Amino acid sequence: MKAARLHGIGDLRVADEPVPEPGPGEALVRVTAVGICGSDLHWWDEAGIGDAVISRPLVLGHEAAGVIESGPRRGTRVAIDPAISCGTCRPCRDGYRNLCTRIRFAGHGDQDGAMREFLAWPSGLLHPLPGSVTDTDGALLEPLGVALHALDLGHVRLGARVAVVGCGPIGLLLIAVLRTAGAGHIAAFEPLPHRREAALRYGADVCLRPDILPEDLRELVGDGADAVFEMAGTADAVTLSLAAARPGGRVVLGGIPASDQISFPASTARRKGLTIAMVRRMNDVYGRTIGLVAAGSFSLAPLVTERFGLISAGAAFGSAAKRNGLKVVLEPAA
């Protein structure tokens, strides 16, 4: 089989490797679609993310779908949950397996991901897809799950006034989720024109550049948004998020900064008495994401603007890094 491994900054090589052998409790999966995430771009551009750095050539990719090739479920189309939690640590026992202290995550650290033709993966993390959900949809259930998890952390009430800062793929999916959840008014902020247009298509009432003047921000959000979701990963985005929140509101930080450091005006957060929540991937939301997409609550297909075969993985990352589109997807069989 072919696999794409990252050897260093911008050094992604596609080579032949043996097909993996499934271990106990695992199934062999033929990968059909893999999305390139912003966190993958951190690995590609920096050979690391946060405090994790590359220690050996690593197969990236955690947004994935495929077809089970072995065992009693052979032939079943599935979405692949990328998070292998231990099940025994305190966070796991408390129901927060996304916070597992011994988690293994596809395409992160020492755990190879899905940018290959086949992978062996725990059977319990392979979620069957109904016929109405395409393979590409199945791969995008992971970023949709992150958006749903962020929504949960925001405690958004029906009719609430909300804001989204950063309209990359997860920010756009979050806008769609907020609209489906009954948000009353959604203000979005994004520097790239094509993403501002996409934000309006996905359900934002208004989408403006993030360098908005303070008086214009007050006119837009009044006393402030009940919940603000930051999905850009910059200090300026966090500062804007604090400014846009109402006193007593919630700010949910989901962006990943390049330097693993983030700062914000403490006086603003303190004066407003803001609650700040951090997004760590997602918890157990695959059942909800599959149900929403199968029911037609919103379409994931318009998010995909480019598709590449696995052999062209380097070109796919180069294109994704330019951010001229929305979501880039690899199709290993292409």
Query: What value does the mean pLDDT take over residues 173-191?
Result: 96
**What proportion of the chain, given as a percentage, has pLDDT over 70?**
100
Query: What value does the mean pLDDT take over residues 149-157?
Result: 96
The answer on 161 and 109 residing in a single domain is no
| Domain extent for 310 | 2-143+282-331
CB 22, CB 69: distance < 8 Å? no
The answer on 230 and 115 residing in a single domain is no
Task: Give me the pLDDT at residue 180, please.
Answer: 95
CB 85, CB 73: distance < 8 Å? no
The answer on 152 and 66 residing in a single domain is no
Please name which of 166, 50, 181 lies closest in space to residue 108, comparing C-alpha atoms.
50
CA–CA distances in Å: residue 246 to residues 220, 240, 266, 274:
12, 12, 15, 8
Of the three residues 244, 259, 278, the one that is the final residue of a domain is 278
- Euclidean distance between the first and final Cα of the chain, in Å? 13
The answer on 194 and 136 residing in a single domain is no
CB 96, CB 283: distance < 8 Å? yes
What the block records as the tokens of 81 is 């949950």
Surface-to-core class of residue 280, CB atoms within 10 Å of its CB (0-12 exposed, 13-18 middle, 19+ buried): middle
The answer on 234 and 182 residing in a single domain is yes
Query: What value does the mean pLDDT take over residues 256-285?
Result: 89
Q: Which amino acid makes up residue 85? A: S
Say how many residues make up the chain.
Answer: 334
β-bridge partners, 30: 67, 118
The answer on 177 and 117 residing in a single domain is no
Task: Give me the pLDDT at residue 204, please.
Answer: 96
CA 214/CA 233 separation, integer angstroms = 21
CA 325/CA 328 separation, integer angstroms = 8
CB 77, CB 67: distance < 8 Å? yes
Tell me which of 222 and 330 has the higher pLDDT.
Answer: 330
317: number of Cβ within 10 Å:
24
The answer on 52 and 7 residing in a single domain is yes
**What confidence tier does 222 reach under pLDDT thresholds 50, 70, 90?**
confident
CA 299/CA 316 separation, integer angstroms = 23
- Tell me the CATH number at 296: 3.90.180.10
Average pLDDT, the chain: 93
Please name which of 127, 96, 95, 122 lies closest in space to residue 111, comparing C-alpha atoms.
122
Instruction: Give the position of tokens 């920096």.
Output: 46
The answer on 271 and 235 residing in a single domain is yes
Please state the domain count of the chain. Answer: 2
Query: What value does the mean pLDDT take over residues 235-245?
Result: 94
The answer on 215 and 320 residing in a single domain is no
Q: What is the pLDDT of residues 10-42, one digit of tens each?
A: 899 999 999 999 999 999 999 999 999 988 998
CA 76/CA 73 separation, integer angstroms = 6
β-bridge partners, 275: 250
CA 329/CA 320 separation, integer angstroms = 9
Task: Give me the pLDDT at residue 61, please.
Answer: 95
Element (H, E) at 277: strand 275-278
The conformation of residue 207, written as its DSSP 8-state character, comes to: E
Surface-to-core class of residue 189, CB atoms within 10 Å of its CB (0-12 exposed, 13-18 middle, 19+ buried): buried
The answer on 255 and 235 residing in a single domain is yes
The answer on 138 and 13 residing in a single domain is yes
Q: What is the pLDDT of residues 55-95, one digit of tens each?
A: 899 999 999 999 999 889 999 999 999 999 999 999 999 99
- Tell me the CATH number at 216: 3.40.50.720
Please name which of 247, 242, 282 lies closest in space to residue 265, comparing C-alpha atoms.
242
Give alpha helix (H) positions in 155-234. Answer: 169-180, 193-201, 214-221
The answer on 265 and 159 residing in a single domain is yes
What the block records as the tokens of 259 is 């330097």
CB 329, CB 34: distance < 8 Å? yes
99: number of Cβ within 10 Å:
16
